[in-house]
């Protein structure tokens, strides 16, 4: 079997890939994500371009490996919400989302010798109407400062929502395991 490399430093993506029980290594992508963020790209196209750039940056260094790149964009009314970085910005993002529907776009590119597989999962989420105090309590609890959209659905963030529509719940956390299982199985990886 070729080496399997996750082109990510995300602890969330590593934990997701661990669930499949396939040995892998994680490496930081060798690309400048900020330089690749073209404001002319639509949110989905941006997520897909970043996922591919991450995978390609490692695949170019280790061409015989199977490399997984993934990126996630939170989008509301065409506006991209990135990782907030601070509690204040997290509350501001959540205020922009409260009482509304938005999309969480998770793009994945898997590069194997001689082939490239791409998959994008789009989740539609509707947040409850909440006031600033409730959102401040949530941010203090979950500290979602490194999450696009400023929430962690796998933790207390689930309490913020009234509806979530997704084909693959694992995509919400950052890596669409249903599609990845299909791709890796097709490449000969022994999955249950």
Report yes or no: 64 and 2 within 8 Å, Cβ to Cβ.
Answer: yes
In degrees, rounded to 5, the angle at the alpha carbon of residue 56 between the alpha carbons of residues 23 and 170 is 50
Q: Which helix (H) or strand (E) holds 44?
A: helix 43-59
Catalytic residue among 71, 77, 121, 142: 71
Strand partners, 80: 75
Closest CA to 155 of 1, 184, 147, 9: 147
Closest CA to 72 of 100, 53, 42, 46: 46
Let me know if 71 is a catalytic residue. Answer: yes
Task: Give me the active site residues, please.
Answer: 71
């Amino acid at each position: 079997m070729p080496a399997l490399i996750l082109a990510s430093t995300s602890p969330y993506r590593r934990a997701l890939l661990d669930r499949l029980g396939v040995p892998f290594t994680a490496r930081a992508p060798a690309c400048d994500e900020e330089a690749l963020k073209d404001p002319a790209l639509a949110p989905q196209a941006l997520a897909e371009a970043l996922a591919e750039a991450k995978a390609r940056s490692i695949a170019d260094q280790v061409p015989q490996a199977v490399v997984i790149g993934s990126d996630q964009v939170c989008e509301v009314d065409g506006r991209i919400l990135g990782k907030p970085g601070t509690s204040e910005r997290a509350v501001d993002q959540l205020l922009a989302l409260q009482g509304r529907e938005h999309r969480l776009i998770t793009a994945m590119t898997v590069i194997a010798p001689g082939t490239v597989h791409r998959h994008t999962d789009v989740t539609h989420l509707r947040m409850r109407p909440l006031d600033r105090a409730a959102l401040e309590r949530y941010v203090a609890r979950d500290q979602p400062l490194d999450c696009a959209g400023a929430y962690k659905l796998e933790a207390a963030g689930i309490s913020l929502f009234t509806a979530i529509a997704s084909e693959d719940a694992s995509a919400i956390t950052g890596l669409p395991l249903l599609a990845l299982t299909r791709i890796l199985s097709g490449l000969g990886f022994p999955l249950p």
